Structure 1
Amino acid sequence: MTTRTLYLISCAAPPARRLHIPIQAAQQAGWDVCAILSPSAYRWASEDAEGEVEALEALTGHPVRHQYKLPSQADLLPEPDALLVAPLTSNTVNKWAAGISDTLALGLITEGIGLRLPIVALPHWNKAQDAHPAVAHSVATLRAAGVTVLLGDEGFVPHRPRHGNLDAYPWQAAIDALPTLS
């Protein structure tokens, strides 16, 4: 089996505190995983007293990226063969669908569409956020662009505000939706 590279791009939502779950599952499926965090998700991880960033780096064998590098700096990560955006927040889905790339995470997923990379997105937001008309429009835009957005019965089902269940977050559905390795 050939190892291919998966970028796990995570936003600041509660499941981002459990990134070891999808990393280990993807590694077991043969992926070399690189973690890229939104600036807020990185702040959560870097302020963690238990060394969450360091733990992710040890688990993946790659640095955790969260901001653009300077043009003079070498790329520290291998090129991706696929992208997994999880957890995807309502803020990021709307920026992504609008083509905004003001962070490394957004830049990679916006560019990923143009590069025709396989992209799987697993949202995490509540029913109130889901009710905003921009969210449905953004999801439809991304799906039309070829992104697999796992929202609804095939993936994440929005919960009542402040009633999310981290144990129910469907990480495995996202791993299963990735392209198979050959």
Structure 2
Amino acid sequence: MTSRTLYLFGSAAPPVFDVAKVIEGAQADGWDVCLGLTPTAARWVGDSLDGLAALTGHPVRSEYKLPGEPDVWPQADVILFAPATFNSINAWAQGITSSFVVGVVAEGIGKGTPTVTMPCVNAAYARHRQLDRSVTELREQGVTVLYGEGAFEPNPPGSGKPKGYPWDVALDAARRRAEKA
């Protein structure tokens, strides 16, 4: 069986600390996983970056490569951006690509790369009307946004449940998107 490539991207939200288990689960399902993180998320898991690179067999990326440098990852069959913070979702929907992972997913829309995202925001951020606008914008551009009933639902500020983040829903949606492509 030919391996499929999953770009697993994450922002700085507590579920990012479970990324090794998510990688192992994806690998058990036959994925070749490439991990990309926002700069803050990379700082959060900084002590684990070498181990995560060894686990995936690819360098963990959080910055753009220099012009002329070869790409060190295989082409993605699907991108899963989770957890995606309020900042990342809004920057992506507005085309603000100052971070590597947001740049890749923004470009992925134009390339037609199947993409799934699952926000991780608290209820206070969820009440900001820009989040709904951004979710709508991304959905209109073909991104599967796992937000609302049956996916990610915000918690009150300060009461997050990182262990309750529905990673299984996200991985299943990524698998389904790749199968449709």
Does TM, normalized by the shorter one, top 0.5? yes
CA distance in 2, matches of 1:167, 1:40: 20
Asked whether the 8 Å contact 1:21–1:171 carries over to 2, the reply is no
Partner of 2:45 in structure 1?
45
SS at match of 2:147: coil
> 4+ runs of 1 displaced by more than 3 Å?
179-182
Residue 86 (structure 1) aligns with: 82
Counterpart in the other structure of 1:9: 9
Question: Residue 34 of structure 1: SS of its match in structure 2?
Answer: strand
1:123 maps to 119
Query: What residue ranges of structure 2 are gaps of 5+ in the alignment?
Result: none
Give deviations 1:31-60, integer Å, cap 9, x for gaps.
Answer: 1000000011111122xxxx3101211110
Please tell me whether the aligned partners of residues 86 and 125 of structure 2 are also in contact (alpha carbons under 8 angstroms).
yes
Aligned to 2:29: 29
Mapping for residues 133-148 of structure 1, pairs under 5 Å: 133-148=129-144
What residue in structure 1 maps to residue 95 of structure 2? Answer: 99
Which amino acid counterpart does residue 23 of structure 1 have in structure 2? I
Task: Give structure 1 stretches of 5+ with no counterpart.
Answer: none
Specify the code of the residue in structure 2 equivalent to 1:130. A
- Given that 1:122 and 1:149 are in contact with CA atoms closer than 8 Å, whether structure 2 keeps it comes out as yes
**TM-score, with length taken from structure 1:** 0.94
Q: 1:21: how far off?
A: 2.2
Q: Distance in 2 between matches of 1:144 and 1:153?
A: 19
| 1:109 corresponds to | 105
Q: Partners of 1:134 and 1:166 in 2: how far apart?
A: 23
- TM-score for the superposition, normalised by structure 2: 0.94
2: distance between equivalents of 1:53 and 1:86? 17
Equivalent pairs, count:
178
Shift of 1:156: 0.5
Secondary structure class of the residue paired with 1:178 = helix
**After the TM superposition, which residues 45-64 of structure 1 pair with which residues of structure 2 at under 5 Å, given as runs?**
45-46=45-46, 51-64=47-60
Equivalent residue number for residue 77 of structure 1: 73
Separation of aligned partners in 1, 2:62 and 2:89? 17
Structure 2 Cα separation of the partners of residues 55 and 18 of structure 1: 13
**Percent of pairs identical after alignment?**
46
Are the counterparts in 1 of residues 124 and 157 from structure 2 also a CA contact under 8 Å?
A: yes
Distance 1:161 1:136 in 2: 18
